[in-house]
Structure 1
């Protein structure tokens, strides 16, 4: 393998020594982001493995040495891929790398919502002894919005619980799930789980009109991107009893702002963006990101999401 040269910035909030060893064996120095100045962190950097850092056109323009960026996950909406292409920067992602972790977590959120586990534990911690009955997943209908690797991994788990699975997607593929349009999915599902990428065309995909189609007893689950949901509309729908509740692993602004409309709404539980965060998924992601970065620096990316011009 040809040895690379330069410095790699890694912004993930965990360290993987094996992945670091892959990069250093290739001749690269590994730098961790310290503090909050992204521009300063990127100074002199050849490649970057990033979490959800906002790599805007302005930030990228101030990183003239940067040749390749790897998003350590699936979504890359925080990276201006068009600006990167104009600047000669290759951007890659890691499709499906944490799909098993996300799928298991999604089912965990379904169970927690159905059996009101958070409410029960919270009640006990405050001195109460809640005994409210929950719901079984068996016999319920799960609607998957999107059918990428994570959603495809959720489907058999839900089926094993005895759920009927519907899916709304622009890219249906052979499966045991039933493919329907989004309005049908919203009307018929007891649980709606979001698994689609955030694009300019689906910002606030779940808005007041979409929520109005859902059953009053339905639960919304989001492990994809916060901006897919109109949070004001969701808070109103749950607070007024139009919707039973929501389990959100992602929100539009993270961490959740003190003034968020989602705060204090009985029935809405917000988690801290943990769907893909298992020890196994983190290790696999770190290794895959290291190998993808080396491939991109060689001009041979395996998972490119843009087509940059030649770096000047």
Structure 2
């Protein structure tokens, strides 16, 4: 049997983008749009050596039963949230991530969450739909301090947008970025920022970065925005800080376990605005993402075919 290439989890939004960026001379790619459980992976990937994965979990012990699989092309920057990259490498499976495709899209989504939190838009929307007319006082962002944690491509876009709307930018990065401003201790940023926006990559060093102690350092009444990775934050400590008002509001696009359950403590709080890990989902970003994914697939397929 010749090796197959499978797009494991192409949803309705990605399918037209995929069709638009695919080329006639691409190697054949089987596109699966049917929902599946992790236990179905050996069946779906039977005879497959290259798979495209759009945020489906890939447990190492199940991937081990996919005997032909050699490459996973992950549609995003953080496969670590969905698979154990190092364990897969030891099993002979290489994970390919794609960086920089959606920096502007994610930054714009973070800003949208920031405005929604500042004006309590989601709660007013819920109130009106339930028949309650309750105007709520908001926060004016011009002149406020935005603390940006992580100055990669997305963080740099946040700097540009925040300065454009008249916010004072505070920034922390694991390596100094003098082009953005003088080095600042994370503790000082948390204590002084009116809004904190997370843009760190997830790693063993950053997992649980914003724990209970650091959340307690935040300025009382501050807003927290997370469009990076859910595991950067201690979710229980965050729920406690939101409950007691130490953190006024949070705008969250990412969670430690996705999809977020309806009974999760964060989903029950009125001062939390939620979105479904969609910060990177614009047509423009998706076209760039899938275009780069197909570039990787073409290269891998060509290597496979070389003598």
Compute the TM-score of the two structures, normalised by the length of structure 1: 0.88
Provide, for residues 185-215 of structure 1, a one-character-per-residue CA deviation record: whole Å limited to 9, x for no partner.
Answer: 1111111111111112222211111111001
Deviation, structure 1 residue 248: 0.5
CA–CA separation in structure 2 for the residues paired with 1:222 and 1:12: 25
Higher relative CO (CA 8 A, sep ≥ 6), structure 1 or 2? 1
Q: CA RMSD in A?
A: 2.0
Match of 2:20 in 1: 18
Q: Provide structure 2 residue ranges, at least 5 long, that are not aligned to the other structure.
A: none
The 5 Å alignment of 1:170-209 reads 170-209=174-213
Pick closer, same or farther for the CA change 1:12–1:200 going to 2, 3 Å: farther
Q: Which secondary structure state, in structure 2, belongs to the residue aligned with residue 53 of structure 1?
A: coil
Alpha carbons 1:6, 1:27 under 8 Å: kept: no
Could you list the structure 1 runs, at least 4 aligned residues long, displaced by more than 6 angstroms after superposition: none
| 2:149 equivalent in structure 1 | 145
* CA–CA distance in structure 2, aligned partners of residues 216 and 98 of structure 1: 32
Whether the 8 Å contact between 1:165 and 1:178 is mirrored in structure 2 is no
Distance 2:165 2:181 in 1: 14
In structure 2, the partner of 1:30 is: 30
Please show how residues 4-153 of structure 1 align to structure 2 within 5 Å: 6-13=4-11, 14-15=14-15, 16-19=18-21, 21-22=22-23, 25-32=25-32, 34=34, 35-36=36-37, 37-77=40-80, 78-153=82-157
**Contact 1:145/1:169, CA 8 A, preserved across alignment:** yes
- What is the TM-score of this pair, normalised by structure 2? 0.89
Contact residue 239 and residue 266 of structure 1 kept, 8 A: no
Aligned-partner Cα distance in 1 for 2:115–2:30: 40
Shift of 1:178: 4.6
Moved more, 94-103 or 112-121: 112-121
Q: More displaced, 88-97 or 104-113?
A: 88-97
CA offset at residue 298 of structure 1? 4.1
1:17-47 Cα deviation digits (max 9, x unpaired): 034x33x623323231532222322221121
Using the TM superposition, name which of 120-129 and 44-53 deviates more: 120-129
Task: Give a deviation string over 1:95-150, Cα, whole Å, max 9, x none.
Answer: 11111110111111111111111122222222232222211111111111111111
In structure 2, C-alpha distance between the alignment counterparts of 1:177 and 1:158, rounded to whole Å: 14
Spell out, residue by residue over 1:132-173, the C-alpha distance to the aligned partner (whole angstroms, 9 max, x if none). Answer: 221111111111111111111111100001111122211333
Higher helix share: 2
Deviates more, 1:170-179 or 1:108-117: 170-179
Q: Secondary structure at the match of 1:166?
A: strand
Indicate the residue corresponding to 1:267 in structure 2: 271
Count of residues in Structure 1 that have an aligned counterpart in Structure 2: 295
C-alpha separation between the residues in 2 aligned to 1:101 and 1:177? 24
Contact 1:147 1:171 (C-alpha < 8 Å) held by counterparts:
no
Tell me if the contact between 1:10 and 1:31 (Cα under 8 Å) persists in the aligned partners: yes
Cα–Cα, structure 1 residues 88 and 294, in superposed 2: closer, same or farther, change >3 Å?
A: farther
